Amino acid sequence: MSEPRVLRASRQHYRRWLRGSLATGGALATGLFALNVARADSVVDLIVLVAIVALTPAAALAAVAVHIASSRVTLGDGWVEYTRWRWRRTVLRVDDGLVGLLAVYKPTLSNSPPTPLLMARRAGGGPRMKLSGAYWEQADLVAVAEALGLPVRERMLDAAGYERRAPGVMPWRERHWIAFGVVGALVVTAVVAAAVVGYFAMTDRPPFDDRPPRAVSAGTTRAQDAVVRQVVAVVGGRWEAPEVSLIACQDEDDYQGWRRVVTVEPGDVPRSMTDETVSEVVAAMADQGYTHVRGSKVDDVSGSLPGAAFGEDEVALELEPRFAGLRVEGHCEVPGR
């Protein structure tokens, strides 16, 4: 009985594969980072983004490296043992009735160049032995094929070609690549969606953030009440009691919050203003910071805080014959932002 012969995966082939993977993966990671870095609101978000974009592919490449380093094929008398990850072993014996072959394989699911591929398994089913020319020397693949009594073909074959010559030797995903692609896409989408939803939910981010308690800051309340008192005093007459409401809203980053709105209905007030009254109203608004004054008519004056968005942090006074009223709008407030 001859001594078993041990073959190992080619590290030179692995380094060649790694260079191509680093170039492609690096470009993809850079693109993903550039598209998402602007969304990072804190250092923690930036660290999470770097971990996802950089560490995930790095971990995948490291796993492949460990797989290659731990892979070996042992050729014995009438049997072949394939070991990877140090604990996974596949043993095929020549007298088990094997099916398989060694040929140049053109994968259907990728744009990878045609590569020598040895596939083998028992005719009745069981574990497969799959050795790719991306990591193994051609001479070693031929030696394994000869040890198992499998045919060696130089022509290029796809999954259907392998199946015709060795039924059942190709995995289901290779034989039904369309269905596998659809199922794989659905699974990846579900996993990514679950991860994104989980992250946003755990960090209380839109659109899964919880609406805060009904409240706005004390400063907003004081400023709005003060401008109401000053404008009402300048216009004069009798006004109804102010009505305060808190309206659900979303800020510019889609966080949920509350906006305070104060409305005052007139009782018996002047239905027009003199130039002097307009100047006093403008001064009253400016006294509370509402310096951006608008309005083309004497009876319609509004002001807003500097830099306020449209319809926010605004005070509006109308004294027309058909309509009169005072309204103060705040901005969308989210605690902690």
Same-domain status, 150 and 253: no
Same-domain status, 148 and 63: yes
Q: What is the pLDDT of residue 34?
A: 67
DSSP output for 47-103 = HHHHIIIIIHHHHHHHHHHHHHHH-EEEE-SSEEEEEETTTEEEEEEGGGTEEEEEE
Q: How confident is the model at residue 206 (pLDDT cuts 50, 70, 90)?
A: low
Q: What is the pLDDT of residue 224?
A: 93
> How high does pLDDT run on average in the chain?
81
**Which residue range(s) make up the domain with 157?**
5-170
Q: How confident is the model at residue 85 (pLDDT cuts 50, 70, 90)?
A: confident
Number of domains within the chain: 2
What are the distances in angstroms from CA 281 to CA 298, 327, 328?
11, 14, 14
Q: How far apart are CA 163 and CA 192, in angstroms?
A: 34
Residue 36's identity, in one-letter code, is N
**Residue 208 placed within a domain:** no
Q: How far apart are CA 240 and CA 267, in angstroms?
A: 6
Q: How far apart are CA 304 and CA 317, in angstroms?
A: 12
Q: How far apart are CA 49 and CA 67, in angstroms?
A: 27
**Residue 125 placed within a domain:** yes
Picking from 135, 170, 205, the residue at the C-terminal end of a domain is 170
Beta-strand ranges (E) seen in the chain are 5-8, 72-75, 79-84, 88-93, 98-105, 115-122, 129-132, 152-157, 238-239, 243-250, 256-264, 266-268, 292-297, 300-304, 314-319, 324-329
Picking from 131, 150, 170, the residue at the C-terminal end of a domain is 170
Same-domain status, 165 and 237: no
Is 235 in a helix, a strand, or coil?
Answer: helix
Same-domain status, 56 and 158: yes
**Residue 248 placed within a domain:** yes
Same-domain status, 139 and 245: no
Peptide bond into 213 cis (omega under 30): no
Beta bridge partners of 131: 118
Q: How far apart are CA 284 and CA 306, in angstroms?
A: 16
Q: What is the pLDDT of residue 143?
A: 93
The pair of three-digit structure tokens given for residue 139, joined into one six-digit string: 């001479």
Same-domain status, 156 and 224: no
**Residue 166 placed within a domain:** yes
Beta bridge partners of 328: 262, 315
Same-domain status, 65 and 163: yes
Same-domain status, 164 and 258: no
Same-domain status, 43 and 162: yes
**Residue 262 placed within a domain:** yes
- The predicted-structure confidence for 212-234, as pLDDT tens digits, reads as follows 888 899 989 999 999 999 999 98
Contact 279, 298 (CB under 8 A): no
Same-domain status, 11 and 160: yes
Picking from 170, 186, 210, the residue at the C-terminal end of a domain is 170
In 3D space, the residue among 40, 162, 46, 50 whose CA is nearest the CA of residue 99 turns out to be 162
**Residue 193 placed within a domain:** no
- The predicted-structure confidence for 261-315, as pLDDT tens digits, reads as follows 999 998 888 777 777 888 888 888 888 888 887 765 556 788 888 877 777 889 9
Q: What is the pLDDT of residue 280?
A: 86
Same-domain status, 243 and 315: yes
**Residue 336 placed within a domain:** no
CB count, 10 Å around CB of 87?
7
Q: How far apart are CA 228 and CA 330, in angstroms?
A: 13
Q: What is the pLDDT of residue 1?
A: 47
In 3D space, the residue among 73, 62, 57, 53 whose CA is nearest the CA of residue 9 turns out to be 73
Residues across the chain: 337
**Residue 206 placed within a domain:** no
Same-domain status, 70 and 153: yes
